[in-house]
């Protein structure tokens, strides 16, 4: 064989090695995993998505260095069941986990949670703050574990913080129309411009402990999970983070006359501007408080990412950043989560893999996909029962896709809701027999979901198609016999 032929073979072989480098290097060298999750973070508050006001420079940098998923969705827009689904690798209906649990009770002791699987495959696993469900503010104030799964961790730490009781300037903007009620805790929109620095609060302590663990375990493969509780209510952050967001300058989402007329009662969110008696000024204050909480969280994210760089670990650490679900900020006059509308169910997602070129991807991804994705990137075997799909093909090729739609569910006030979302349509059905109504939106022409087409005779065929498709998906995720779609 000629030298030129040998050289050509080597060049081709080298090109193939580079193409498969992220998977191959992880299998050989056991990359670290840094798993970071923010609480109640909507894509509409991040400049890499729709927002150009809220300042998140550290998330922006991470997004520019990794794979940014523009169409990632949670499986349940409430903290507990979303996290149970994501970390177990099971859809909520497969594990029947709809409440504020880790999911272990229903998944069973024989199944392995994502961090547990890494621990049993030679990783040092550590949790800092909220990864499985914790009550915010309750467990954060008390420094307790919530519904954590102890089988997952070699070591764990809670980040206690004062939450709404932090010294500073506080205000309740929910069900306080005349502004005379005192601030209070619980799952309400209380705003606190807090005195003191970052370390007074839970997320500052989470960043500090995570940095300590990175330095301590840098010579062994680690899976470190850091959970930020902001921007979950109450909107608490050091005072300086409020300065860029004077509430008088905040702009409310469009208010469409008759917006609720074509939404079934079950589709009207549990927290609205109406039932919360929020004036326009209070709505603007809520948005400003949310942005301040996001900026505070982003600053803590920046500290962790800097420590990873300073310790020389970027080249052998897979970084994931996401949230458990989104958050309404006045769209349709809705607030908070629970609904299956876009702002509540869509989540930010960045996966940064060493050696992989950055990209922006519009393929569909689900949080349940993180389990098989991380195991493949780390070169670990995958438990066969896990229901997600690996996103590695998308990370390697921004034009690839692994699913043609997403599937999410919600349960509230005894109504079970279902979402099927593909490139063209968002279909929401309330109860398995549709007894509480249907919503259908053309996402190409109506991304804000203002015109429910479910009752329009022109779209009867579309509605019937998704009714059948929903029965198929429910059968599939419950591991029953697959119901074949009719042509």
* pLDDT tens readout for residues 196-239: 999 999 999 999 999 999 999 999 999 999 999 999 999 999 99
**What pLDDT was estimated at residue 150?**
94
Six token digits for residue 86: 């994501």
Choice between 4 and 480, residue whose per-residue pLDDT is larger: 4
The domains found in the chain, sorted by start residue, are 24-396 (3.40.720.10)
Q: Is the peptide bond before 231 cis (omega within 30 degrees of 0)?
A: yes
Question: How far apart, in Å, are the Cα atoms of 239 and each of 151, 207, 246?
Answer: 38, 19, 12
**What pLDDT was estimated at residue 3?**
45
Beta-carbon neighbour count of residue 447 at 10 Å? 12
Confidence of residue 480 (pLDDT cuts 50, 70, 90): very low
Closest to 80 in 3D by CA, of 308, 361, 337: 337
Confidence of residue 476 (pLDDT cuts 50, 70, 90): confident
- Residue 280 neighbours by CB under 8 Å, 6+ apart: 252
Residue that has been written with the tokens 């501007």 in this structure:
273
Closest to 24 in 3D by CA, of 392, 394, 402: 392
Secondary structure (DSSP) of 130-167: -SS---TTHHHHHT--TT--GGG-SEEE-----GGGSS
Six token digits for residue 435: 């007894």
- Report angle CA 469, 362, 379 to the nearest 5 degrees: 90
Choice between 479 and 471, residue whose per-residue pLDDT is larger: 471
Is the pLDDT confidence value at 245 over 80? yes
| φ/ψ (deg, to 5) at 228 | -90, 140
Dihedral angle at the C-alpha atoms of 126, 300, 40, 189, nearest 10 degrees? 130
Mean pLDDT of the region 244-269 = 96
* pLDDT tens readout for residues 420-458: 999 999 999 999 999 999 999 999 999 999 999 999 999
Confidence of residue 464 (pLDDT cuts 50, 70, 90): very high
Six token digits for residue 303: 């500290």
**What pLDDT was estimated at residue 95?**
65
Question: How far apart, in Å, are the Cα atoms of 251 and each of 60, 247, 442?
Answer: 22, 9, 26
Strands in 102-258 per DSSP E: 124-129, 155-157, 168-172, 190-194, 222-231, 235-238
Q: Which long-range contacts (CB under 8 A, 24 or more apart) does 461-464 make?
A: 462/425, 463/427, 463/438
* pLDDT tens readout for residues 68-123: 999 999 999 999 999 999 999 989 887 666 666 677 777 777 889 999 999 999 99
* pLDDT tens readout for residues 136-148: 999 999 999 999 9
- Can you state the angle between helices 202-216 and 280-310, rounded to 10 degrees? 10
- Residue 322 neighbours by CB under 8 Å, 6+ apart: 36, 37, 38, 72, 347, 348, 349, 350, 367, 370
Beta bridge partners of 346: 73
- Residue 75 neighbours by CB under 8 Å, 6+ apart: 81, 82, 85, 86, 91, 92, 366, 367, 368, 407, 408, 409
d(CA 33, CA 307): 14
d(CA 360, CA 351): 11
Is the pLDDT confidence value at 14 over 80? no
| φ/ψ (deg, to 5) at 323 | -135, 165
pLDDT-wise least confident of 31-40, 309-318, 376-385, 427-436:
376-385
Question: How far apart, in Å, are the Cα atoms of 477 and each of 85, 87, 126, 304, 473?
Answer: 12, 16, 30, 36, 6
Is the pLDDT confidence value at 291 over 50? yes
Six token digits for residue 473: 């998906």
């Amino acid at each position: 064989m000629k030298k030129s032929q040998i050289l050509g073979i080597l060049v081709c072989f080298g090109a193939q090695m580079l193409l498969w480098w992220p998977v191959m290097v992880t299998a050989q060298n056991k990359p670290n995993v840094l798993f970071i999750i923010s609480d109640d973070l909507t894509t509409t508050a991040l400049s890499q998505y729709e927002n150009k006001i809220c300042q998140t420079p550290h998330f922006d940098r991470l997004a520019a260095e990794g794979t940014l998923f523009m169409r990632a969705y949670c499986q349940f827009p409430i903290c507990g069941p979303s996290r149970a689904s994501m970390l177990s690798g099971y859809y909520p209906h497969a594990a029947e986990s709809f409440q504020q649990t880790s999911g272990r009770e229903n998944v069973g002791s024989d199944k392995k949670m994502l961090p547990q699987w890494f621990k049993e495959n030679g990783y040092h696993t550590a949790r800092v703050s909220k990864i499985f469900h914790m009550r915010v503010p309750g467990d954060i104030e008390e420094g307790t574990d919530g519904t954590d799964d102890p089988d997952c961790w070699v070591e764990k730490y809670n980040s206690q913080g004062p939450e709404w009781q932090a010294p500073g300037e506080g205000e309740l903007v929910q069900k306080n129309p005349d502004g005379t009620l005192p601030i209070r805790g619980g799952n309400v929109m209380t705003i606190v411009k807090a005195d003191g620095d970052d370390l007074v609060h839970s997320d500052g302590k989470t960043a500090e402990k995570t940095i300590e663990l990175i330095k301590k375990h840098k010579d062994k493969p680690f899976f470190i999970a850091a959970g930020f509780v902001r921007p979950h209510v109450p909107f608490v952050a050091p005072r300086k983070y409020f300065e860029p967001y004077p509430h008088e300058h905040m702009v409310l989402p469009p208010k469409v006359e008759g917006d609720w007329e074509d939404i079934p009662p079950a589709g009207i969110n549990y927290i609205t501007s109406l039932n919360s008696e929020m004036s326009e000024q209070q709505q603007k204050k809520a948005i400003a408080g949310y942005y301040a909480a996001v900026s505070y969280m982003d600053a803590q994210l920046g500290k962790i990412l800097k420590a990873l760089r300073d310790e020389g670990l970027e080249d052998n650490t897979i970084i994931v950043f996401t949230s458990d679900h989104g958050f309404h900020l006045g769209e349709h006059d809705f607030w908070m989560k629970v609904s299956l509308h876009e702002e509540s169910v869509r989540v930010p997602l960045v996966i940064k893999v060493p050696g992989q070129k950055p990209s922006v991807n519009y393929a569909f991804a689900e949080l349940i996909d993180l389990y098989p994705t991380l195991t493949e990137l780390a070169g670990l075997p995958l438990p066969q029962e896990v229901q997600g799909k690996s996103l590695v093909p998308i990370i390697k090729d921004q034009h690839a896709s692994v699913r043609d739609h997403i599937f999410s569910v919600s349960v509230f006030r005894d109504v079970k809701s279902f979402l099927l979302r593909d490139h063209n349509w968002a279909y929401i059905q309330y109860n398995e027999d549709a007894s509480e109504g249907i919503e259908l939106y053309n996402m190409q022409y109506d991304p804000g979901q203002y015109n429910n087409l479910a009752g329009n005779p022109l779209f009867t065929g579309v509605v019937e198609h998704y009714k059948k498709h929903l029965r198929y998906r429910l059968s599939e995720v419950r591991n029953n016999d697959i119901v074949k779609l009719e042509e």
